[in-house]
Amino acid sequence: MTVNKPITLARGLKIRKRIESRLHRLMEDITKNNSILKGAIREVDVKASLKEHGRVSDMLSSLRVELWKESLPIQPKILQINELKGRIAMLSRLSTTHGLVEGTNWRTPDAPPVEYEATLRKSDVDEMVKAAETRIDELQDELDAHNAMTKITVELDI
């Protein structure tokens, strides 16, 4: 497929994933077929695959540069989404155990109950996660709109 007409950022991002997958497959072919048992049938022309890998890698670099340039205006939103995802991950790992808990140690089942005190309760954490997810959705809608409206021109032969 040859593309040298303007495409949306959204389409460019999809093409980038396809090219990355192709590079991965080429790399696997090269590494699996470079050294084989003498006399075995080599399923892949390693030198040709290596040349193709270089060509596809250069094409991917060009595409990434264009995607990066046109994504600069929305970088703050992308970074904010990443930070919110990190916050959700941290909150998801947070223990909210609160109150008297019996049998906390399976090795000593007769141990006395232990009392926990959580500063942030499960309902607090759930609210914070929901708020972060809502904000991520809002930001993602803005990114999607930008990606659908913004055009890039890059020469691709995939």
Q: How confident is the model at residue 154 (pLDDT cuts 50, 70, 90)?
A: confident
Average pLDDT of every residue of the chain? 92
pLDDT digits (tens, 9 = 90+) for 43-57: 999 999 999 999 999
For residue 121, pLDDT over 70 is answered with yes
107: phi then psi, degrees, rounded to nearest 5: -75, -30
pLDDT above 90 coverage of the chain, percent: 82
> Could you give the C-alpha distances from 12 to 16, 124, 153, in angstroms and in order?
6, 40, 9
Q: How many Cα atoms occupy the beta-carbon half-sphere of 49 within 13 Å? A: 18
Q: Is the pTM of this model over 0.85?
A: no
For residue 4, pLDDT over 90 is answered with no
* pLDDT of amino acid 103: 67
Q: How confident is the model at residue 110 (pLDDT cuts 50, 70, 90)?
A: confident
* Cβ proximity of 10 and 67 under 8 Å: no
* pLDDT of amino acid 73: 95
For residue 61, pLDDT over 70 is answered with yes
* pLDDT of amino acid 3: 62
- Rounded average pLDDT over 85-112: 85
